[in-house]
Amino acid sequence: MIASSISSPLMRLTSLQKMSLLKLLIFTSILLLGSTVGADPLASNGAHERKSSAVYDSPALRVSRRSAHRREADGELRRFPRQASDDGPLSYSPDETRALLDAHIEYRRNVTPSAADMNMIVWNTELADMARVWAERCVFEHGFPTDPPEPYNGLVAQNIWMGSQSFALTRSVTAWYNEYKDYDYATATCSAECGHYRVMVFSGLETIGCGSANCDGGRQTLTVCNYGPSVPSRGVPYKAGPACGLCASGTGWCDDKLCRTDCNAAGESCKCNLQCQNCGELDSAQCKCTCKAGWRGTDCSEPCTNYQDYCDSGAYTPEACVGDTGAQKDCPATCELCSVVSDSTAAEAKCCDGKMCDAGEVLNESSCECVDYVEFNTPKNAAAPVVVSWMFVSVLSGLVTSMPILIG
């Protein structure tokens, strides 16, 4: 059965490629065998790695570190004996720091469905120092050296992971991201633990910082990553749509599917691929759309309306909205952050004679029909990466292992 699952892909390989693959499989088998010798009996599910529940918002930790808000693996707090000769903080090299950051960035770029408002993120040394100090305790629980943490006024999210020291440093990031399999974007629900994934792909993140330590006599690595600002515990972590179409900055400057806020002009990492919706007009120099009446948003795909009942209570005026970010988010029409369609709206200020669409839809300007925003803006020839899972039996270790290979 194993042979039949790989025969078709193998037929397309040259003799040299087959030999290289065989060497890789043998080498991987040796590593796998070595990682099973003296395996940590505390590792859960025989996988030699452990994840906690994610922490979205650090103030939750302020209630009680000792009971309700302790995040534990498998319901059991693990404390590891410290051995000074083997345990202690790990100092990242510049390449290791870059690898951890790049792993987060690449996963954020390639979410499904594609994200329209996903920020580029950068490394934050303060968050990293906090993570390193916390990891050095070798206690598998969430928290911060100071309570609350200073960055982002205490609003910091956190992921933690522990695994065999034989794992690559970025294994933690991969383990967190793999929870996407248990997340349903359409319903914004998890069928199993997927909080780490939601933290990683929250569009509003700006910075991350990670730290690691050797624990349990050097047999385990504990990795902590802090994220700022904190992540909402409900709702979808990002808005689906064309890349950089809904950047929070109001402009569409894009670095390979990620929103940039530090661009003043087009360049290698500052592309403007913004497609204005609903007859919006693009200022390519500023990478910004001017929307027609009834529409708003970076690419003019969002209706100019109020989203909460209190917006129409009469308590709010455009003047009262100044400086009130909550009201501006909930009540864009009342706050006059956009213009609504009215009888006095000039024809040239409207799209398709002022026709409006339901949420999640935009106008097909050619036919003036309402179409699905995401589907309408997805290239028809877009090909998703193909992941082939190779199954093989290790002669040396007797283990059956799955190796994903990115084909294209």
Q: Label residue 3 by pLDDT band (50, 70, 90).
A: very low
Residue 254 has pLDDT above 60, yes or no: yes
Listed in order, strand segments (DSSP E) in 243-336 are 253-255, 258-259, 271-272, 281-283, 288-290, 295-296, 302-303
Residue 87 has pLDDT above 80, yes or no: no
Q: Return the higher-pLDDT residue of 399 and 128.
A: 128
Calpha distance 233→342 (Å, rounded) = 38
Over residues 348-352, the mean pLDDT reads: 97
Average predicted confidence (pLDDT) for the chain? 79
Dist CA 139 CA 45 (whole Å): 19
Encode pLDDT of 165-220 as tens digits. Answer: 888 889 999 999 999 999 999 999 999 999 999 999 999 999 999 999 999 988 89
Lowest mean pLDDT of 188-197, 264-273, 297-306, 394-403, name the range.
394-403
Whole-angstrom CA distances from 199 to 7, 69, 156, 296, 355 are 39, 17, 10, 27, 38
**Six-digit token string for 202:** 């929250």
pLDDT of 308 above 70:
yes
The type of residue at 299 is: D
pLDDT of residue 48: 59
Q: What is the pLDDT of residue 52?
A: 63
Can you read off the two tokens belonging to residue 203? Answer: 């569009």
Write the burial class of residue 45 (CB in 10 Å: 0-12 exposed, 13-18 middle, 19+ buried). Answer: exposed
Distance CA 328, CA 25 (A): 56
Tell which residue, 125, 157, 195, has the closest CA to residue 60. 157
User: Per-residue pLDDT averaged across 45-70, rounded?
Assistant: 44
pLDDT at 55: 63
- Report which of residues 323 and 69 the model is more confident about: 323
pLDDT of 334 = 94
